[in-house]
Structure 1
Amino acid sequence: MFTVCVVTGAAEAEQPTFPSLPTAPPTMPSIPFPIPKPGPTGTVKPPVIDPIPPTGGPSRPPGTAQPILPRSVNVQLKVERDGSLTVREQVIVQAKQQMVRTAPLRIGDRVFTVRDAKVQGDGTVNATADTFTIRLGGGASTVTYTVDGAIADVDDHQEFRWQPVSGWDTTLASVRVSLLTPRPGRDFVCLAGRPGTEDICDSALTDGGGVLRVNQSTLDTGARVDLSAKLPAGLVPANARFEKAGSTAFAVTPPSGAGLGLAVLLLLGGFVFLWRARERDAKALATDVGPVELVATDGGKATFASPDGVLPAQAGVVLTERADHGELAATVVDLAVRNYLWVTESGGDWQIVRRNAADDALTDYERVVYRTLLPEGTDSVTLSALRTSPLDVTAARTAIHADAVARGWFTRIPGRLGWLGLAGAAVLAVGVVGTVVLALAGGPALLGVAVGLAGLGLLIGARFVPLRTKRGSALAQQLRGVAAFVAGVGPEAVTAEREVVFSRSLPFAVALGEAERWLAGFGPIDPAGVAWYASQDPDLGADQQEFATRLTPFLAALGQACGAGEKH
């Protein structure tokens, strides 16, 4: 630790004599405190401190004194008979500058109390339950106050402890501390430096009267001088107070309260947004709509037209929010109708043949379906073979979902979090980590809790956000009209270009789950006009009604083949 030296009376005689503070009652110990000395002409000289040299070291010549420089602190400590500690601090501040001390009143589990604080000079003092704050302007100022809690009973003795210097916002050029107790103490410990360090003071010596005098040449910003000593048992009433330091990390403070309030506002705003979005989507599916025809007549010529140019699988997935076997089968039929595939029937089985390669005219998901059905090097496949060796249609289903997201109909791929859920998960992770870090550091951990709550709300809310966007909901309403048209079509609905309209509309009927009603309601079809389907049965070509009837088992078998390999 440090060496304590006892200075003899001879050495004490070499010290110059200074005016002392007002004399205390005979029963109360006192200690001289350096004050400005009058000059020859009545002016006031700078305050001086007379250091006590170590035993055996060089001494300052009698009558000389060391001036107190700016940014210097001279502290007098006196343990009173009632156990309180009176403190007098003399601080010299550079002209036109300010020095602020924010001293903690909790050191570990030990709690101190400061009362009766006053300042003489340019400054203010303020004491709370946790901190003691001194603000001083330029020049010399003197601060006096009383500390309770410096004396504790420990085994067969009493222990004194206090930090006479701590929390200054500037580097101190010089620190002088003196400690007077009713009876001399022992085992003095003087530490100087950052809180938690064990560096000893530059000099800590006792004089012949048992007064401890500490000299510290410099003290960094925020550093402290920590004094402790052992005193005789029962010397003064013990007044130390110990409290288990409770964590204030989760205490409601202005920053943490503001963070929690903002999180609540965000959650309320998200709830309102979620409620309105779900109401909008539900309204689109509940509003009555009339049939939307897939046939447009121009100059007596019937042509096929879908809402917004939507394709069959796209129509099915927007309306049902899921790419199922119906959407995959509809895509295969649509590719056949558009001359990429050819379907032939023979002996109760059907063969799908490559007619034209998948080109850039197809969408991404159509190319995936095409390659899934006919991989590279495969020119044909039978539905019986597909039932025996099911296709893995996972990639095709994902591609259809991704297409709906890319076109702005869906907010995310079904079954996935989407960007909103991922953002919520990220914010939640930041909140959890931030809470742990702030709690361990003693910071406002409730800020981390607020961030975590916002992330959790975002993550949960993302699961309830409607899959369809506003544009997707509007399209779904139109497609409900298309489904009504397909389900209610009759032979009289289309009189021109019947085979073309029949073939182009059939994939939509499959995707919307209305294939049987479409085949039954549309009426007789001339097989010769259906270029994408052929049969080895010569009787089929002569019976137009039978042709439509025979398509039903083909579509059922195709749907089974597309659904056999689904992974839910």
Structure 2
Amino acid sequence: MLGFRWGRRLLIAVVAGAAITALGAAPASASSAGSLASDDIQFTLRKDGVLTARETITYDYGSAANSAGIERSFVTRQRYDEGNDRVYRVQNVKASSPDGAPTKTTVETGESATTVTVGAGQSATGRKRVVLTYEVHGAVTPLSDLDEVRWVAAGGFAVPARQISVVMNAKAVPNNLACFAGDPNSAVYCSASDMGGHEAGAARFQQARLAPGQVLTVVVGYPSGTTTGEPILDHRFSLSAAFQITPLTGGVLALLLVVLLGGLALLYRTRGRDARVMHSQVAAGDHPPVASGAEGGFEFTPPDGVRPGQIGTLIDEQADVVDVTATIIDLAVRGHILIEELPHERFSSTDWSLVKRTDAPAEQLRPYEKLLFDALFAGRDQVRLSELGDAFSGRLAEVRSALYDDVVGQGWFARRPDSVRTRWTTAGVAVTLVGVAATVALALLTHVALLGLAIVVAGAALAVGAQYMPAKTARGSSVLAHTLGFREYLHRADADEAPEDQRLRLFSRYLPYAVVFDNVDRWAQIVATSGAGGNGHPADNLSWYHGPAEWDLSNFADSMRTFTLTTSGAISATRQFRSF
């Protein structure tokens, strides 16, 4: 705004002063706390954007001793935008008086205002001058074509104020100016303003009167580059603002998700992917697992010599209850344990006795099999299945651990699958916690909390994907392919593929593998039908499974189904049958 003469503003000043007086300002004599006769403020704008102020207050304490002091409130926080407040810092406040007025000064900093009290508790009378000096930080806003200074320059007094004068000095000539007087958000122009002519470098403002609490706000525009000042912004927390989706946050979030999840996919391919094997190797296992024996018969030869408990761990990379149950049946079929089904009433639960065989073959048990065998009997010759209880379940962890060691020792895995899962799960949880912390911090301090969620998603994906991180070696992948071929064979094979006199022995060896492959009902029935005696009637028992009186192999399928379920329940409270 261009400057103009003070005389031309005189009438405006009188009218504006009368209007503000009508808003409710009381005469000075009506205030027991005194009144402010004039307030003259000189500002100097420094290159760094700081305003240095010298404010001369002429205060009428009255004829009686007055100890209320002078109270001056500075606005130090205003709403800036949806997510930020603008902060002004009033610092280095000092008071002096050429007339001997009280100058004891206290400064109280509140959430949105700084209150300066001068001379409180010190008596004074008459009219005296008090000089305040202070600095204002954060009043400059650099715009596209100018540097704007906006500051609540005067007001905030506890008593009526008259004759307010503000001068803004800088090393540059102002381009424009504006001022507003009244309540803090008033749009009423002040009494007068002037830039002092084209040759002057000062912006001047006048206000005839301010009621208690009213303020005078001044705005001056200077050429760009006059200062290096910047507004001081303080993030204001808002949940909706913190997680708002903007083109920037949406684009960055999508980019982060692509990068992080793409990195996880690459990590899985390089670290968690099994070594590739040719599809033809699956077919290599899809045939009867038998070979010619020394005496002209057939011998059971599972693919790569893999045992039932090992198969379960090889397929899903976890040693669980079904693997242990299949191993117990395998030990029985191989002649180390006799399973005896105990007599029971028609509607009562079935129990079994596991008996240690004295005529067990001399074959070497694998470490996990030996641990399981010892855990079952614990120095006894026989034990009821119902008596295994917590003592056996407590040792199950040792058996599982030995199974993991066994598959590593076989060269099927480079590292224990459980250790790999634990390591990556821990890493995923750690990343998730970092993401949660980052999201909270970003929500409190910025408007881009969505970016923290990308880290949370990546961490959660890593924790879930940890189940797929154990990787088989080339040998392990080859054995798995052969094993899957064996599974396909067991799903389609029938009894006619083996000589009749060898079916019972061979198919009994298949049975523990059928437990792992969730095909126990079919093969238990095949075993039962393969055990018919020479008279066409079912045999009473198997060499490894004995039933009670009146029991024969026609009951075997039901007995075996119940045994596998009961054994799994006795070992662990949770049955973990697989579904392929």
Range of TM-score over shorter length: 0.3 to 0.5
TM-score by length of 1: 0.46
* TM-score, normalisation: structure 2: 0.45
